[in-house]
């Protein structure tokens, strides 16, 4: 294709920063938040305004891009092979509403349904992650400028030394919910209890930033069922360009789809495949979502 991916990346960084100004100026509250699927699947006016701003800016510059965004998505919408900007205006809406400054704008470009550009920006901490397929991924904040990921020297991977991100998500009932809870239990429990006894599990509340954490190397893995394309598209590029790997959260499935909903992400490091196999042995059944 004749799209210059580096140019797209640079442009998306500016878009993310403009969107960030809208988000940091907003004063959200739990009472003003609207609900989508249930009382914990939240949306604010800021999510909607920010998505509109992003769409406008991208359409002006790249009129031929298709668009898929969290706030305008309708059930049945599908991802095509065309260049598609996949956007989450506020990833971490629950954090945003509560004033917990761990959120991001996640902007990804997929071509042929494969993520090729990713920009993830937390406007509260001014933390920026970006990646272009085949050209590496990078981190900037007020103290660092364009540092190549991962940020740490990757030690070999070991489950009993791992810090693992998991998320509860907004689906709080049904078959998959029990599998999630049992899987969290298996990761934490001592070997006598049949568990992996990882160093810890964390639920920070932003899928995109979790993927960045794995790319940076301060998280060893991230496991979730219930994501959407806009939660993962950008982070996928950033992670893979940092030597990390993304597979399906279900045992033995090595090929997730960007429009699928189950993901296991693992950082760069020796023993990656063995670590994935080992992590899967603690997954407490087959997840149905996705």
Question: Is 70 labelled as part of a ligand binding site?
Answer: yes
Question: Is 77 labelled as part of a ligand binding site?
Answer: no
Closest distance of CB 46 from ligand IPD, Å: 12
Give the pair of three-digit tokens for residue 9. 């990346």
Nearer to ligand IPD, 204 or 275 (CB): 204
Residue 48's CB is within 10 A of a number of other CB atoms, namely 17
Closest distance of CB 238 from ligand IPD, Å: 15
**Spatial separation of the C-alpha atoms in residues 265 and 25, rounded to whole Å:** 33
Nearer to ligand IPD, 55 or 206 (CB): 206
Closest distance of CB 66 from ligand IPD, Å: 20
Nearer to ligand IPD, 16 or 90 (CB): 90
Of residues 127 through 186, those in contact with ligand IPD by CB under 6 A are 167, 169
Q: Is 71 an interacting residue with respect to ligand IPD (CB under 6 A)?
A: no
> Is the CB of residue 157 less than 8 Å from the CB of residue 220?
yes
Contact string 77-96 vs ligand IPD (x = CB under 6 A): -----------x-xxxx---
Question: Is 88 labelled as part of a ligand binding site?
Answer: yes
**Spatial separation of the C-alpha atoms in residues 188 and 205, rounded to whole Å:** 19
Closest CA to 121 of 95, 150, 89, 166: 89
Q: Is 239 an interacting residue with respect to ligand IPD (CB under 6 A)?
A: no
User: How many helices (H) does the chain have, and how many strands (E)?
Assistant: 7, 14
- Binding span for ligand IPD by CB under 6 A among 56-64, 223-231, 236-244, 263-271: 223-231
Question: Is 41 labelled as part of a ligand binding site?
Answer: no
Closest distance of CB 153 from ligand IPD, Å: 28
Residue 113's CB is within 10 A of a number of other CB atoms, namely 16
Q: Is 206 an interacting residue with respect to ligand IPD (CB under 6 A)?
A: yes
Closest distance of CB 36 from ligand IPD, Å: 8
Sign of CA dihedral 279, 261, 90, 97: negative
DSSP-derived secondary structure letter, 156: P
Binding test (CB under 6 A) with ligand IPD, winner from 71, 231, 240, 248: 231
**Spatial separation of the C-alpha atoms in residues 281 and 277, rounded to whole Å:** 7
What is the per-residue DSSP string for 103-167? -EEEEEEEETTEEEEEEEEETTTTEEEEEETTS-EEEEETTEEEEESPSS--PPP-GGG-EEEE-
Q: Which residues bind ligand IPD (CB under 6 A)?
A: 70, 88, 90-93, 167, 169, 205-207, 224, 226-228, 231
Binding site for Mg(2+): residue ranges? 70, 88, 91, 231
């Amino acid at each position: 294709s004749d799209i210059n991916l580096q140019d797209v990346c640079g442009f998306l960084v500016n878009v993310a920063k403009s969107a960030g100004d809208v988000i940091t100026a907003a004063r959200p509250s739990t009472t003003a938040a609207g609900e989508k699927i249930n009382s914990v699947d939240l949306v604010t006016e800021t999510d909607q305004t920010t998505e509109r701003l992003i769409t406008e800016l991208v359409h002006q510059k790249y009129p031929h891009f298709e668009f898929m965004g969290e706030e305008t998505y309708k059930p049945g919408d599908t991802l095509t092979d065309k260049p598609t900007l996949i956007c989450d205006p506020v990833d971490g809406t629950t954090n945003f509403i509560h004033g917990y400054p761990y959120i991001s704008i996640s902007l990804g470009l997929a071509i042929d349904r494969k993520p090729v550009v990713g920009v993830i920006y937390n406007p509260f901490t001014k933390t920026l992650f970006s990646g272009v397929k085949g050209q590496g991924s990078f981190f900037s904040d007020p103290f660092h400028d364009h540092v190549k990921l991962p940020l740490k020297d990757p030690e070999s991977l070991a489950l009993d030394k791992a810090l693992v991100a998991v998320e509860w998500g907004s689906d709080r009932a049904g078959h998959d919910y029990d599998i999630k809870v049992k899987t969290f239990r298996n990761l934490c429990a001592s070997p006598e209890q049949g568990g992996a006894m990882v160093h810890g599990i964390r639920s920070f509340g932003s899928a995109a930033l979790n993927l960045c954490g794995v790319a940076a190397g301060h998280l060893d893995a991230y496991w979730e069922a219930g994501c959407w394309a806009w939660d993962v598209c950008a982070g996928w590029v950033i992670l893979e360009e940092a030597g990390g790997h993304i597979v399906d959260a279900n045992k033995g499935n090595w090929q997730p789809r960007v429009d699928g909903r189950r993901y296991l992400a693992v950082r760069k490091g020796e023993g990656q495949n063995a670590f994935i196999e080992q992590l899967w042995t603690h997954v407490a059944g087959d997840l149905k979502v996705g």
